[in-house]
Structure formats: structure tokens, C-alpha cells
Amino acid sequence: MSKFTSIIWPKVILFGDSITQVSFQPNGWGAEIADKLARKCDVINRGLSGYNSRWGKIVLPRLINPENSADSKIEAVTIFFGANDSALEGKSQQHVPVHEYSENLKEMTRFLASAGVTADRVIFITPPPLHEPSWEKECILKGCPLNRHNSVAGQYAQACVKAAGQCGVDVLDLWTLMQKDGQDYTVYLSDGLHLSEKGNQFVAQHLWRLLESRVADLPFILPYWGDVDAKSPESSLLCDQ
């Protein structure tokens, strides 16, 4: 067999909590991003349900290895924590103080930089707003009192935006955008905390605006089928692009 060079596909890594983990479900925001980048880039889901920024900071070096050639073509990383960090102190083990949350985001950015992922390829995503009456119903079903407040989620969103500015990274401020002009943000939520189908569409639309410039120049990987030399396919399929 002819010698050939292995193809290392560019990557976009989605890192966060359950809102990221379930983003590959039908009509999920991650699935939509992956569809837009099909055959140009691997979109990798590294969502960890229930995790906060403290735990995310600890595991991130286990997910991206700068010595691995497969991690050498990371085009973008989204960091989407805060919905769990902002759980009320004493009401959930997921709680992380807002100052530490901010520092954790900065530390993750510093790690990514050490792994070759520069600040211009990192996007922070703030927690979405919280609808307390809906989420309280979920809490009661689990036998616990309401453990999150929208105003507190807003404090974490503000901290995320501020940290993004300090780190020189882009930020998608869902908490603000979903409540802009007094709109009914509950349509974006399925249970008061997680995203509905409309919420997933909202995230995909706004995130793509930030991602597109980073991936716009990525080429189509491997030749279009009509361009393959039928008599000598190896000459088309094994050449370096």
C-alpha cells in the first residue's frame, strides 16, 4: 500500500456542565454547531453533568494534552460553567463562591494558553437566566428546597463577562441576552434551568456568530467525490491537501 500522511482533523471543544453534555441531543446547540462544521472540523463534546468550574479546572488538563499531536489543531474551546457554581451556599455541594468561579475561568484560560490554545480561540459562555418557580418544582420533586436564584446567576454571569475581558477572550452573555428588552426568557428553558429547544436554537445562533470567524477558512477535508480520479483514486485520496 502506498505511504500516506494521516489526517489530523481540526477540533472545536465544547467544555462545560450538563447544558453542554446534552447539547448533542436532537436539536441541541452542540449538534447544530457540529452539523455546520461537518467534514471541516470535529466538534467534541466534553460536557460533564453537574460539574462546576472548580471541578472543571481540575479535569481540563486530563482532556487536552499538548503533547498529543491530535490536540495540536484546536480551533476553538468554549467554557460554559456557572449554572452549578451559582447554586446557593449551603444548599448544594456544587456551590462555588463567585470570586473563585472567576479565578477558575482565568486559570482554565491560562492552562489552554500553555497547551497552545491562545485567548483568541477561547469563548466563555455565561449561565443562562434561571426561572425560579419552574426550578423550584424540580427541586421539590427531588425532596429539596429551591437552591438557585436568578439574581445570583446574574452575579456569576457578570463575573464571567468581567473575567473574559481580563483574559482577552470572547464571551456569550446568555443571562443578559435572554432577558434583553424584558422578553419572556422562560421560553428558552425546559425546567427553569436547562435549555428548551428554542433555548438551544438561541445558543447555537449566537455562538455561531462568535465561532464562524475562527473556522471560516477551514477547508473541506478530502476531495469532493466528483473530483476523485476514478482510474487512480489513490492519486486523489492519498495526496496531502
Given 35, 191, 213, 235, which residue is catalytic? 191
Domain regions of the chain by residue span: 11-238
Given 17, 23, 86, 194, which residue is catalytic? 194
Q: What is the pLDDT of residue 227?
A: 93
Q: What integer is the mean pLDDT of 104-116?
A: 96
Is 18 among the catalytic positions? yes
Q: What is the pLDDT of residues 122-167, one digit of tens each?
A: 999 999 999 999 999 999 999 999 989 999 999 999 999 999 999 9
pLDDT bucket at 1, cuts 50 / 70 / 90: very low
Q: What is the pLDDT of residue 182?
A: 92
Q: By percentage, how much of the chain surpasses pLDDT 90?
A: 83
DSSP assignment of the chain, as one string?
Answer: ----PPP---EEEEEESHHHHGGGSTT-HHHHHHHHTTTT-EEEEEE-TT--HHHHHHHHHHH--TTSGGGS-EEEEEEE--TTTTSPTTT-TT---HHHHHHHHHHHHHHHHHTT--GGGEEEEPPPP--HHHHHHHHHHTT------HHHHHHHHHHHHHHHHHHT-EEE-HHHHTTGGG--GGGGBSSSSSB-HHHHHHHHHHHHHHHHHHHTTPPPSS--GGGS-SS-HHHHHSS--
pLDDT bucket at 28, cuts 50 / 70 / 90: very high
**Mean pLDDT score across all residues of the chain:** 94
Q: What is the pLDDT of residues 48-83, one digit of tens each?
A: 999 999 999 999 999 998 777 666 799 999 999 999
Is 196 among the catalytic positions? no
Is 194 among the catalytic positions? yes
Whether pLDDT at 108 is above 70: yes
| 11-238 CATH fold | Rossmann fold (3.40.50)
Whether pLDDT at 16 is above 80: yes
Whether pLDDT at 2 is above 80: no
